[in-house]
Amino acid sequence: MQLAPVYDPTRNEKLRQDFVLGVKLLVNGRMQQNVRDISVGSVEPAVRAMGRSLSRQSLRMPLIKTLEFRQWAAITHASQSMMWRAVEETTERVARSAADRFNALPPAAERKGSLELDASLDIPFPIRDTEIHRQPNGYVSNHSPEDLTAGLRYLGSGQIYSPGKGASSADVDSRGVLLATLVKKQFPGIEPRRILDLGCGVGMSTHGMASGFPGVEIHGVDVAPGLLRFGHLFAEEQGTAIHYKQRDAAATGYPDDHFDLIVSSILFHETSHDKLPAILRECRRVLAPDGYMFHLDVATQIEHQGLADQVMNAWQVRWNGEPFWMGFAETNMKEAIVAAGFPAATTFAEYSGRPGGGERHIFGARG
Ligand SMILES: C[S@@+](CC[C@H](N)C(=O)[O-])C[C@H]1O[C@@H](n2cnc3c(N)ncnc32)[C@H](O)[C@@H]1O
């Protein structure tokens, strides 16, 4: 039986959401390019003419005073507010039916996969107290044992935010399908038996990994209960066996050497300075000798970005709920992985995809 999607906008809701997508494409396309052009064409030469060396810091004030930057910033902020309002309309309408579907799942012993939530988990900064991407109430919003609204919002926003940034698909499992493809390209012939997806959220990455590696035992951990409930409901309704746990990626609780493939999708830019190395050390601990580690994230590393993009990214930290974006951008992931105990010879940190549209930073190692 083909079930209707849990997040299911009406025609009018979809029209409104598509309008927001149009605004996002404008702001992430032409308007962002206008900022780059004014920066290279006149602001950077003016900074140099004042005898100052060019850096993100010296460029920031003169660039943010330009009309082009102000237009970009204002429309970026407004489009994010519009996005959340548009997504909330659908979320509120379908929240009850999502909870009913969750409650109607068969008893735990009869399910294909599992869901283990831990109300006592100490949720780490910044997820604990930041509305990441300005998502209303944040990822960890959790009003009742049947609350899937955080997951509905996350999925709904992903259908606008990701295509607005150049992703070609925003299906529930699109990120994981891409992840599985990139893993196979990086490690030809890989045949894992047990996979762990860190920071799995609603399972956009986990579910696609399950399709890419059929029959493989697959686990996902995240700190956000509402996202995990959504992921569990989606997996069970699709008949996919996935084991979700509410755990900190830096302390997963799995035994040493338990997995032969560990992945993540857009986790690291949302962690923190302390958490990033701790997560990599945990990967080292639970990855079997000779196992594979592959992470995919935003391509915002400063050595890979022009100065105008760096200033725009730093703006996102303050104004768009991205507290660790610059911290991640300034981290050399290859060095961080080696510092966590992985062999330098098998460690990689590269870029994949089209610059400016769907490009990703990929990094990992062989254990
Ligand atoms: C941008 S989402 C990505 C979700 C999913 N991987 C995807 O591709 O859609 C980042 C996720 O990382 C989770 N997260 C952040 N810090 C974490 C931590 N220390 N342990 C586990 N999950 C964490 C957040 O709750 C969120 O679901």
Q: Closest ligand 1 atom to the C-alpha of 203?
A: 5
Integer Cα distance of 296 and 278 in angstroms = 17
Domain residue limits at 164:
159-366
For position 184, which CATH number holds?
3.40.50.150
227 lines ligand 1 (CB under 6 A): yes
Q: Closest ligand 1 atom to the C-alpha of 206?
A: 6
- Dump pLDDT digits (tens) for 260-272: 999 999 999 999 9
Position 63 in a domain: no
The alpha carbon of 296 and the centre of ligand 1 are apart by a number of angstroms equal to 12
Averaged confidence pLDDT in the chain: 94
Cβ neighbours for 332, distance < 8 A, ≥ 6 positions apart: 301, 349
Residue 171 has pLDDT above 50, yes or no: yes
- Residue 1 binned pLDDT confidence (cut-offs 50, 70, 90): very low
Cα of 282 vs its chain's centroid, Å: 19
Position 117 in a domain: no
Position 39 in a domain: no
Position 200 in a domain: yes
Position 222 in a domain: yes
Position 81 in a domain: no
The alpha carbon of 349 and the centre of ligand 1 are apart by a number of angstroms equal to 20
Q: What is the mean pLDDT of residues 329-347?
A: 97
What pLDDT is recorded for position 173? Answer: 73
Q: What is the mean pLDDT of residues 11-21?
A: 97
Q: Map tokens 């030809």 to a residue.
A: 188
Q: Closest ligand 1 atom to the C-alpha of 176?
A: 8
Integer Cα distance of 244 and 241 in angstroms = 10
Please check whether residue 287 is in contact with residue 45, taking contact to mean a CB–CB distance below 8 angstroms: no
pTM (predicted TM-score): 0.95
Token digits of residue 77:
């902020």
The alpha carbon of 67 and the centre of ligand 1 are apart by a number of angstroms equal to 35
Q: What is the mean pLDDT of residues 115-134?
A: 94
Cβ neighbours for 18, distance < 8 A, ≥ 6 positions apart: none
Position 79 in a domain: no
Task: Tell which one of 7, 121, 127, 265 to mutate to probe ligand 1, the residue whose CB is within 8 A of the most ligand atoms.
Answer: 127
- Residue 367 binned pLDDT confidence (cut-offs 50, 70, 90): confident
- Dump pLDDT digits (tens) for 202-230: 999 999 999 999 999 999 999 999 999 99
Nearest C-alpha to atom 16 of ligand 1 is from which residue? 271
Helix (H, G, I), strand (E, B) or coil at 42: helix
The alpha carbon of 42 and the centre of ligand 1 are apart by a number of angstroms equal to 39
The alpha carbon of 201 and the centre of ligand 1 are apart by a number of angstroms equal to 5
Position 67 in a domain: no
Half-sphere exposure of 232 (CA within 13 A, CB side): 29
Integer Cα distance of 131 and 144 in angstroms = 19
- Dump pLDDT digits (tens) for 58-98: 999 999 999 999 999 999 999 999 999 999 999 999 999 99
Domain count of the fold of the chain: 1
Please check whether residue 108 is in contact with residue 156, taking contact to mean a CB–CB distance below 8 angstroms: no
